Structure formats: structure tokens, C-alpha cells
Structure 1
Amino acid sequence: MPTNKSAKKIANHGVVWEQAFGYVQAVQVKDTIYISGQLSHGDDGKLVGPAELDDNGRPSDFSQMEAQIRQTYVNTKKLLAEFGATLDDVVEETLYVLDVPSAFEAGSKIRKEMYGTDIPQCASNLIGVTALAFPEQIVEITFRAVIDRPAD
């Protein structure tokens, strides 16, 4: 894991848009891990559960919300592991979604599954937005985790 002069640790997935946009997926400063907006890509960089698009290039249904949320948590768990952390260390998450009702239904199920409890012990926000980075993307989630060990 590369380290820069200001004692930051970083982690990436190695997908092309990291270089194209110029950002890291996660950064640890002291005991806090900040995770950039995660989406449902697989190891090949392709979206898992892409939404079908209408003639205007907009998602036409949100039936893939559960698949996208699940894969987003899977990707987040991989990043957290780079810092020796887990979802138990997450203190805040924000879900940005194109359809709040379908995200609420899918998210309530997947969050409980991923955190392993009926009431995940983190602050959570669910925010409806009009667009995300990729047309087939219907959810993006940011996370903040706190661990009891500072960056090296």
C-alpha cells in the first residue's frame, strides 16, 4: 500500500476510472479511513447488475438495486481489509441513489446481511440524486471507518 509524505495510507481497486478521474478509493489519516463513493463493479471493472436504460440513456427500472448494493458492500469490504478493518469499524455511510423507495427496500435487507445484525452500528444516510457517474449505475455508497491504530 503506497504511503505519501503526510502519513496517509491509500488503497485502490485498479479500475480505469481511478486514473482517468484522478483519485484514490480509500485513504487513511490517523485512525480514520475515508472511502470514496463505491459502486457495483466486479474485478473486471464492469458493473454488476447494470440497470436497463431507456431511449434517453436513463435507467428505466430499479430492479437491480439489490445486486448493486450487495456488490458495493463487497467492494467496500475489500478496501477495508487493506487497512486491517471490517464493516464493524464503519461509523458512517451515505447511500446516493436514483430511486429512494427501491433503495430503502433493497438497502434494509442488504445492510443487515452485510453488517450481520438487524441494526448496523453506524450512522446512515439515504439520499436521492438525479445522476451518478455511469448511466447504468443506480447506487453509490461512501463510508467512514475509525480504527484504533493510526496510519504508519
Structure 2
Amino acid sequence: MTSTRIKKKIANHGVAWEQAFGYVQAVQVKDTIYISGQLSHDGDGKLIAPAALDAAGRPIDFNQMEDQIRQTYVNAKKLLAEFGATLEDVVEETLFVLDVPSAFAAGSKVRKEMYGTDTPPVASNLIGVSELAFPEQIVEITFRAVVDIPTAP
């Protein structure tokens, strides 16, 4: 029996939760790059624009949605660059959000800004969820990109 393994290239941010949960931020298999759910953190893993929480540990409001979405795209761009890719290579994204109306308003603005066009050529999903990995986080975005791989002559 012949066994062939799929060659994978991986990338991480180097934040603590990668090791704690045991996963990589991005993996490329052939021409496709799969990016794990991205959060709005800086290079040290500190959350950017964390939501204020009530006594029960739930977000009080969703005013930070735009800033969190923007930083999440910044983090995705860093990962894509590890593979020589950009947002232009993204074909699908999924936004997991705690509040759909605020995410729709903020996301429509930030997506146009990040992709540099009023109609990004990206299949997009916006899904409301009850909670995310960190209580202060109100949005998480996954990405899938496809890149051209030169063929051997």
C-alpha cells in the first residue's frame, strides 16, 4: 500500500492560546489557505477594543465592533502575507458575531475599506453566535484564500 501525505505549510501569531488550545492560525494545502478564526489582538496577544462586560461577564454594548473587525482583518493580512498572499486572494470569509445588526453596520464599512472596493469579490457569511473564546470578544472571522501555484515546466 502506498501512502502519500498532504504537504502543509503553517503560520501562527505566537499568542498563548495557540499552544493552550493546540492549533495553528493558518494552514496552506496546495493552492488553498485556511485561516482559523481571527480575533482583534495585537502582536502580544492583548485584545484590541475589548467590549466592556456586565457583572455576568457579558458585553454591555457592541460599540467596539468596528475596531474589532478592523484589527481582525489586520491580523488576517499578516497571516496571508506569510504565504505570499493578500486579501485579494480571499474567496470566502465567515464572521461569527454576538450582535448581527451592529456587525452588519460595522462590517459593511470595514470590509469595503479593507478590500478597497464597494463590492468585495468574496463569498461572505455573517453568523450570530451566543459567545466566543473570550468574553470581551464580539467578533471572530475565518478566511479561505486561493493562490496560484506555478507549475513545473
Point out where structure 1 has 5 or more consecutive residues left out of the alignment: none
How far off its partner does 1:44 sit?
A: 1.5
TM score, norm. by length of structure 2: 0.94
Radius of gyration: which is bigger? 2
The residue type equivalent to 2:40 in the other structure is S
State the alpha-carbon separation in 1 of the partners of residues 105 and 118 from structure 2: 14
Alignment TM-score, normalising by the size of structure 1: 0.94
After superposing on structure 2, the runs of 4+ consecutive aligned residues of structure 1 that deviate more than 3 Å are none
1:112 equivalent to 2:112? Answer yes
Check if 1:37 corresponds to 2:58: no
User: What code does the residue aligned with 1:48 have?
Assistant: I
1:149 Cα deviation from its structure 2 partner: 1.3
What is the CA deviation profile of residues 42-74 of structure 1, one whole-angstrom value per residue up to 9, with x for unaligned ones?
Answer: 112011000000010000100000000000000
Percent sequence identity over matched residues?
82
CA distance in 2, matches of 1:79, 1:44: 15
Deviations 1:101-147 (A, max 9, x none): 00000000000000000000010000000000000000000000000
1:124 aligns with 2:130: no
Within-5 A mapping of 1:4-83: 6-83=6-83
Match of residue 102 from structure 1: 102
Q: Provide the aligned length of Structure 1 versus Structure 2.
A: 146
Offset of residue 7 of structure 1: 1.0
Name structure 2 gaps, 5 residues minimum.
none
Q: CA RMSD in A?
A: 0.9
